[in-house]
Chain A
Amino acid sequence: MALLLNAEHAFGLEDFESTAKIVKFAIVPKKHEEPDQSPKEELMSFEAAMLPHLDAAHNLARWLLRNEQDAQDVVQEAYLRAFKSFGGFHGSNGRAWLLTIVRNTSYTLLKKNHAVDLTTTFDEEIHGSGHESVSPATILEHAEDAELVKEAMDELPAEFREILALRHQEGLSYKEIADIAQIPLGTVMSRLARARDKLKECLAARIGKEK
């Protein structure tokens, strides 16, 4: 059928009769196959398109929720939601689409648990002291300490944890991050810069305390 249509477009012959005929041809085979094949095929193509992003989905949820059990529940819920609306997905970036759903599902749970700690509620006072004496070189020395980095990152507000995970771990572009977090491109850049600064501060505070 695609051949027919294409050839006609090429010649500008798209007329009334042939369009009607195409409708007729298109429906007949569909009617026989659809009832039992389509859901299975849809599941197969859904899994093929979305399961490769399972690690990315889990990682994002885990950073947002800071809890393994919640993360798994959210990811499962997100996959179900994604499957239900998969028919409406025609984009090319399956990972960004799935991560958007994972993110929204995570925030729903965070809000329900009153655990949303957005940037606005981030208390600068607690994190603003005791690190002035720590030099960038010292931070760098400690920056490879996975445990320390994890603790510092877990201290950050959700929006910062999310943007750091998307950028540093998934290597997503600013555009993809903007789509997932539903913020303008300019905000991605400024939020990322602030998130990195805050992470450095948290690291510095921890290093300062250790000394």
Chain B
Amino acid sequence: MDGYLDGELDPITSQAIEQHLRECHNCDQAYKTQRSLIRAIGNATPYYKAPSELRERIQSSLRKEMAERPTRSVARDVQPLFSRRQPQPRTIGWETSWNWLALAAAVIFAAIIAWNLGPRLQRPGANQFLATQLIASHVRSLMANHLTDVGSSDQHTVKPWLDAKLDFAPAVVDLSNEGFPLIGGRLDYLDNRAVAALIYQRRKHFINLFVWPAAPDETRTPKTITRQGYQLLHWVESDLNYWAVSDINEKELQEFKQLFEEQSVPH
């Protein structure tokens, strides 16, 4: 019963239980009581959020730990690097120039292949992976009780907060009047770097707008991806990557993008 309640059973077993609940009034009653009880308890149990002093305490203790570290890590990392590298030429034994020629040819050949095929081989995979990461971040932000680090509808509160935490300055605009109120900002980690996440609301739905600096070779053409019922919209503006993720429909998301762009461009 608990496994069924938690949605953790395999499809066949849960189907069997579902079937049984439809036929057996007593079990159905017991199930419903248990379910509302668990739900009520879950809602009533206090959630102890971390006080802000704790965050500061942790950050300063991490910095202290880091300050003590370089001497150790340099000594540890560099030393073996040299001892590892020096014996290498000997074991490989570059006796003839023939080896060098073969090597050079191999490297050039590999480089040509990489140049031509690399992007084609990598791009779709990388994009798919990023899309998965984006959706995961979006979903996690909604389920983990962690939508915002700084909850404010005031762009002048959210922007300085993000600027202080990141090495770039994302544009933050409130679109309340247009039906997309700003809920707040959050730090997230995507594509191997810290990124800004701006959270907007559309009726009962949330939009996560992820922002980080664009790579020079980033494709500039806007694009949309639909996946698992989520809409992803990508565009590049002033050398920043924008990815909007939400479960609202594509038209509304396009509208959001347009409004955001109109308001974020300095007049």
Contacts and interface: CB of A to CB of B under 8 A. Distances in A.
Does B bind A? Answer: yes
Interface of A: 3-4, 6-8, 10-11, 13, 15, 17-18, 20-21, 23, 27, 31, 34-36, 38-40, 42-49, 51-59, 62-63, 68, 71-72, 75-76, 79-80, 83-84, 95, 136-137, 139-140, 143-146, 148-150, 153, 164-165, 167-171, 173-174, 189, 192-193, 196, 199-200
Contacts of B192: 45
Interface residues of B, number: 67
B121 interface: yes
A8 B110 contact: yes
A140 B42 contact: no
A79 B45 contact: no
Q: Interface majority SS on A: helix, strand, loop or mixed? A: helix
Given A6-B118, A8-B113, A39-B73, A59 B41 contact: no
A127 to B, nearest CB: 16
B85 interface: yes
B3 A189 contact: yes
Contact of B121 (A10, A20, A137, A149): A10
Contacts of B77: 34
Q: Interface majority SS on B: helix, strand, loop or mixed? A: helix
Contacts of B186: 52
A48 B190 CA distance: 9
Nearest to B52: A54
A164 B45 contact: yes
Interface of B: 1-3, 6, 8, 33, 36-38, 40-51, 54-55, 57-59, 61-63, 65-66, 69-70, 73-74, 77-78, 81, 85, 88, 92, 99, 102-103, 106-107, 109-111, 113-114, 117-118, 121-122, 143-146, 149, 186-189, 192-194
A31 B3 contact: no
B48 A57 contact: no
Nearest to A62: B48
Given A6-B118, A143-B37, A146-B45, A193 B144 contact: no
Contacts of B48: 58-59, 62-63, 68, 71
Contact of A39 (B3, B55, B69, B88): B69
Given A11-B113, A34-B74, A45-B189, 19 more contacts: A3-B122, A7-B110, A7-B118, A17-B106, A21-B107, A31-B78, A31-B81, A39-B73, A43-B63, A47-B59, A53-B146, A56-B146, A58-B54, A59-B48, A80-B65, A95-B144, A145-B44, A169-B42, A193-B2
